[in-house]
Amino acid sequence: MHISFRQIQVFQAVAQTENFTRAAELLHMTQPAISMQVKQLEDNTELSLFERQGKRIVMTAAGRAMHAYTCEILAQYQGMVETLKELKNVHQGYIKVSAATTSIYFITKMLASFSRIHEGITVSLHITNRKTLVEQLQNYEADLVVMGEPPANLDLYSQRLMCNPLVMIAPASHALAGRKGIPIGEIVAEKFVVREQGSGTRAAIERFFAEHGHTFSSTLEMGSNESIKYSVIAGLGLGIVSLHSIRLELETRSLAILDVGGFPIQRYWHIVTRDGKWLSPAAQAFKEYVIAEAATYAQDYQQLLL
């Protein structure tokens, strides 16, 4: 049995108008074409779907049974059409964004300002570590990813956003605070509080120490920059964190940036998606907005190093 979508539309129009001529007007067809489609449909189903009652064309029991399904089919079709229209509209839509833990200090601000401009766009923001971000890229689970260094083993589109300096921090009362030109060899023996294995920040720290001929060993591992900051303030060790994460602590003078040779470690934020992945107009608008705003945010944070 083969029933075409056009036959479903014709059936629905006749059921609605109870008249072949009005059904033809509704679908911008001729009356003979309507009659032919109904006959073909009845031939295909081997059932009589309509019967005449005076001037009216009414559904038979088989027609009423079919009508229950055609109403649902056409409602689903209309829903699909409306959804596709929304996807073409930059002012509406749904975006899945995943971002590295440290990026929360700027990506949430960008999201807030973007949402004020595009009130009809819903953004789902997932904050997680590098390992999960790479998995999401592998599985095409996010529209856009904001992260540090993009993985080299995947086909990606990547746009550099701004610098993400890693700085060494200590309590403002620490003996090294305010001292200029501290040799890296002098602080190797210090206790450190750093991010966990698998984070991009941790990988960058270990790479930096190895490049300078030292083995890095941490005292405490933490899952977030907030935990690291509170631990450093409490005197549990020195920390190495993104400059973006310590604005408040610098302003309140609870933390100080140490002037250690080779620091800050220069890293960069990127906005990433799988190469060839289709982006809706809403997702494309968000990507372009983040890229445009990044320069302003970078200048703002750079002032903290002065």
Kind and range of the H or E element at 19? none
Round to whole Å and give the CA distance between 226 and 43.
72
175 CB-side CA count, 13 A: 4
- Could you state, in order of their start, the residue ranges of all structural domains in the chain? 5-87, 93-163+268-305, 166-257
What's the predicted TM-score (pTM) here?
A: 0.66
Residue type, 301: Y
Task: Name the residue type at position 262.
Answer: G
What is the architecture of the domain spanning 5-87?
Orthogonal Bundle (1.10)
> Structure tokens of 121?
């766009």
Composition of the chain by helix, strand, coil, percent to 5: 50, 20, 30
pLDDT at 143: 92
pLDDT in tens, 117-137: 998 899 999 999 888 999 999
pLDDT of residue 223: 82
Write out pLDDT tens, residues 55-66: 899 999 999 999
At 106, which helix (H) or strand (E)? helix 104-117
pLDDT at 276: 77
Check whether 287 has a pLDDT greater than 80.
Answer: yes
Nearest partner of 257 among 269, 242, 271, judged by Cα: 242
Same CATH topology for 5-87 and 93-163+268-305: the answer is: no
Region of 237 (left: φ > 0; alpha: ψ -120 to 50; beta: rest) is left
CB 221 within 8 A of CB 197: yes
The domain defined by 93-163+268-305 folds into D-Maltodextrin-Binding Protein; domain 2 (3.40.190)
Fold entry, domain 166-257 = D-Maltodextrin-Binding Protein; domain 2 (3.40.190)
